[in-house]
Amino acid sequence: MANIIDKLQKLISHERSAREIGNVAEAEAFASKVQRLLAEHKLTMSEVEFEAQDKDNPINCEDATFPGSSTPAWMKYLSHGIASSCFCEVYSIARANTQTFVGRDSDRLAAVEMYRYLVATANNLCKKETKTFTEKPAFVLLNKLARHGSKEACAMKSRHLRAFKASFLLGFGTAIYKRLMDDKRVAEGNASEQAFGLILRDSVAIRRFAEEQFGVVNGRTVKAGFRSEEGFQAGKAHGYTVALRSRLALGVA
């Protein structure tokens, strides 16, 4: 069991180095590599290894916190998709932008790191796309009117800018969520009856642990506001094309 945790720690260390030196293509391969490693481990686990988990790979929880007084919808799409694909559960902390991941040490380590990585990736892509959006003729004209004292243009400029950013991030989050869920369904479809049974037993144990730690968790409804369809589609496109699956992730030169 320690072997898979060692592999994950090496992957994470390598991904951080790649991100620091600006090797985006290699860093983007990280999510796919981690997901594949966890799936292979789960699907090949024996009954003996499963029973030994409580000692060698216990269930625990870990927070992933970002600035803000609540977690926006796009980040919840990411956290729930990642948690599910990494065989974890995730819970929101009230009045904080905190997602608490619950799962085995190996799974939780992967989920938290993947979440932090994809949040950073989404924000970086959003900045680039927002810059492109502000350079379009319609926005340039709006900005010019705002600078010349038009209060209506100033308000409209701020509204469209906020909507584009929020919609881009929501589009990105929903696309990543769908990709992760699709990949998980494929993996589960290829699992043996024994492996699938062990995964279900582990899921029950994780939920029991979460209930003991946090009690009953109530879901929340996210209200939809003014949305930029252009921003949403741009974010969605990036969510579908960001390299969760790459030649590097598959170990191909």
Confidence (pLDDT) at 78: 94
Which one has a higher pLDDT value, 9 or 164?
A: 164
* Chain centroid to CA 235: 14
Query: What value does the mean pLDDT take over residues 143-155?
Result: 80
* Share in percent of the chain as helix, strand, coil (round to 5): 70, 5, 25
* Tokens, residue 187: 């993996």
Handedness of CA 242, 126, 77, 60 (dihedral sign): positive
Contact status, residue 24 vs residue 15, Cβ threshold 8 Å:
no
Checking if the pLDDT of 243 tops 60, the result is no
Tens-place pLDDT, residues 95-142: 889 999 999 998 998 899 889 988 988 998 899 999 998 888 887 887
**Using CA atoms, how far apart are residues 74 and 98, in angstroms rounded to an integer?**
13
Confidence (pLDDT) at 225: 44
Lowest average pLDDT, out of 66-70, 80-84, 159-163, 239-243, goes to 239-243
Supply the pTM of this predicted model: 0.76
Of the candidates 62, 43, 72, 15, the residue with the CA atom closest to the CA atom of residue 184 = 43
Residue that has been written with the tokens 């290894």 in this structure: 49
Checking if the pLDDT of 93 tops 80, the result is yes
Confidence (pLDDT) at 170: 93
**Using CA atoms, how far apart are residues 31 and 99, in angstroms rounded to an integer?**
18
Q: What kind and span of H or E run contains 152?
A: helix 151-189
Average pLDDT, the chain: 78
Confidence (pLDDT) at 248: 29
Confidence (pLDDT) at 67: 93
Cβ-based neighbours of 163, under 8 Å, separated by 6 or more: 225, 226, 227, 228, 231
> Which is it for strands 98-104 and 59-65: parallel, antiparallel or unpaired?
antiparallel
Distance set, CA 107 to CA 53, 65, 76, 79, 152 (Å): 12, 18, 18, 13, 50
